[in-house]
Structure 1
Amino acid sequence: MNTAPITYHPAPSKPTFVMPKGACDTHCHVFGPASRFPYAPQSKLQPGDAPKEKLFALHDMIGIDRCVVVQSGVHGFDNSAAADAIAARAGRYLGVALLPADVSDDEIRRHHDQGFRAIRFNYMAHLAGGASMDELLRLSERLARHDWHLQIHMDNELIAEKAEGLAKASTPVVIDHMGRIDASLGMDQEPFNALLRLMENKHVLVKVSGCERASRQDEPYADAVPFARKLVDTFPARVLWGTDWPHPNFRADAPDDGVLVDLIPQIAPTGELQQALLVDNPMRFYSFDI
């Protein structure tokens, strides 16, 4: 039995915001159970289990119908735990894998059959390093043939540096967590301006997830909301939303997922914007079967 501490809120509140039918959580993870899906020994994070059953219970409570499970670094390149969660709700749940840049086409096809649609690369100090830009661009040419995309999780200070290369990608590029901007620096900060410039490329999308990570305040993380609102207002057809459950590498106190859901009407204040963010954009981009 895994006795490590859990990273998620044990009793999230019921949100007041009612999700539209078909709402999608495009960014969440599953951890273990470690007894069945062991953690990668090189992972700096060795958390308590956050299995699919806990994720499904949260989704059912907050009104999520579709989901994209993002492979966590705790499992390295072994995507089995994510594949198991996807298979349990086949058609409604898809995935983003962690795979090396030189992954074979056969492995891409095998993961595609399991429900994966992208490869994620991390450029954060606390996570295993990603591929070089040349490697990413070569990979993007192959991913385009499989109708896959790149997902990029990077420190905000790297946005400007990587923007020129990402603009040349042959496949769509999804930027995680609003580029991990620091909300305390204000709206007119260079990392956020660099993200807005990067978003001018029509193949780039952004997840307006992670308000709790961008914020330097306690919940409800109000200082981060204007950044997400700006992205939704400016690029309404290329924004996605996710919970980031079970919130790995967050602060000591896990965020209340009900509070995060109740930020949605502030991020996307109209029914039209909410429909695009939560239903239409993910349905179109990921091509769910159901």
Structure 2
Amino acid sequence: MTDTPLTWNPESHATSSVLPKGATDCHCHVFGPTARFPFTDTNSYKPADAPKEALFALHDRMGIERCVIVQSAVHGYDNSVVVDAMQARPGRYLGVALAPPDMGDAALDTLAAQGFRGVRFNYMSHLAPGASDDELQALAPRLRDRGMHVQVHMEAGLIETLSPVLSNLPVTVIVDHIGRVDASEGMAQPPFQALLRLLDHPNLWCKVSGCERASRQDPPYSDSVPFARAVVERFGDRVVWGTDWPHPNYRTDPPDDGDLFDLLPHIAPDTAALKALMVDNPTRLYRFEES
């Protein structure tokens, strides 16, 4: 993979944000090293390695103490790369798996025991299609019984379509990256209003990550901040945040992670809101031990 450009910026500046004790990155990935954890043959996206050591270095530099690593489609259903990272920082690093919706009970039990707190399904045109409505409805109680949740990564145009099934699942559902809205379309846009209506349901949570993806501007991505802040203000006890490191499929050169951390005081502008976003909500959702 040496000829493949990095998807992450190894020279990100240190953030000026002061993070609370127990600050948590609730959405990031690890890729490889491919010599040990090869990519799946079914995924055409082949990024450069982004190993756990590089992720740990970023977190240590920025003041992140805990983390939730989300399995990437580049590794398919083989979640061993995430297990390896979790085992390197036991208890402080947990995971969200990729798994087929008809996975057996024993396999789900294994994931739960390994530290996985949820299963992610993608509804994006560049990724394999996610679970059907019937599959989600069948899987949801099985996840709930194991203390796990459903995580959904969907294109903004699908929020309205998927809302009926997601809002009625008997399990917690997490929406990734502010629903992948386009900030240039304004806050009155139908997808964002559909997201707010969806989040009115008490089983729904939202990751206010991905401001750099929602933005159509250069850093500091100011056009996307009002969307994240509106979700935090309205649903402050059901929001979490993440870096999305190492920024797979990003549209341009990798973002500076320091810029993303610098947005936090604008997304959660008071001490209580920031602590809820970065510490209290992750502790409750992912069942981290109280620090």
Q: Give matches, 1:229-248, under 5 Å.
A: 229-248=229-248
1-side partners of 2:271 and 2:165: how far apart?
Answer: 35
The secondary structure found in structure 2 opposite 1:90 is: coil
Q: Does 1:25 align with 2:20?
A: no
Give the Å deviation of 1:3.
3.5
Runs of 4+ in structure 1 over 3 Å off: none
Aligned identity (percent) is 56
Instruction: State the number of aligned residues.
Output: 290
The secondary structure found in structure 1 opposite 2:139 is: helix
Match of 2:12 in 1: 12
2-side partners of 1:193 and 1:156: how far apart?
Answer: 11
Residues 190-216 of structure 1: CA deviation (Å, up to 9, x unaligned) = 000000000000010000000000001
Q: Give matches, 1:94-243, under 5 Å.
A: 94-243=94-243
Aligned residue type for 1:166: L
Aligned residue type for 1:276: A
Q: CA RMSD in A?
A: 0.8
2-side partners of 1:2 and 1:283: how far apart?
Answer: 38
2-side partners of 1:277 and 1:3: how far apart?
Answer: 38
Match of 2:35 in 1: 35
TM-score by length of 2: 0.98
2-side partners of 1:102 and 1:3: how far apart?
Answer: 37
Residues 54-89 of structure 1: CA deviation (Å, up to 9, x unaligned) = 000000000001100000000000001011001100
Aligned residue type for 1:121: F
Aligned residue type for 2:31: F
Q: Give matches, 1:27-66, under 5 Å.
A: 27-66=27-66
Unaligned runs of at least 5 residues, structure 2: none
Aligned residue type for 1:153: H
2-side partners of 1:44 and 1:196: how far apart?
Answer: 34
Residues 240-274 of structure 1: CA deviation (Å, up to 9, x unaligned) = 00000000000231000000000000000000000
2-side partners of 1:157 and 1:251: how far apart?
Answer: 19
2-side partners of 1:288 and 1:10: how far apart?
Answer: 28
Unaligned runs of at least 5 residues, structure 1: none
1-side partners of 2:272 and 2:44: how far apart?
Answer: 41
TM-score by length of 1: 0.99
Give the Å deviation of 1:2.
4.3
The secondary structure found in structure 1 opposite 2:200 is: coil
Aligned residue type for 2:215: S
Match of 2:277 in 1: 277
2-side partners of 1:187 and 1:81: how far apart?
Answer: 38
1-side partners of 2:252 and 2:222: how far apart?
Answer: 19
1-side partners of 2:3 and 2:48: how far apart?
Answer: 6
The secondary structure found in structure 1 opposite 2:260 is: helix
- Preserved contact between residue 20 and residue 275 of structure 1 (Cα < 8 Å): yes
1-side partners of 2:39 and 2:231: how far apart?
Answer: 35
The secondary structure found in structure 1 opposite 2:67 is: strand
The secondary structure found in structure 1 opposite 2:202 is: coil
Aligned residue type for 1:46: K
2-side partners of 1:13 and 1:19: how far apart?
Answer: 15
2-side partners of 1:2 and 1:287: how far apart?
Answer: 38
Between stretches 112-121 and 205-214, larger displacement belongs to 112-121
2-side partners of 1:2 and 1:149: how far apart?
Answer: 36
2-side partners of 1:285 and 1:128: how far apart?
Answer: 27
Aligned residue type for 1:256: D
Match of 2:69 in 1: 69
Aligned residue type for 1:146: R
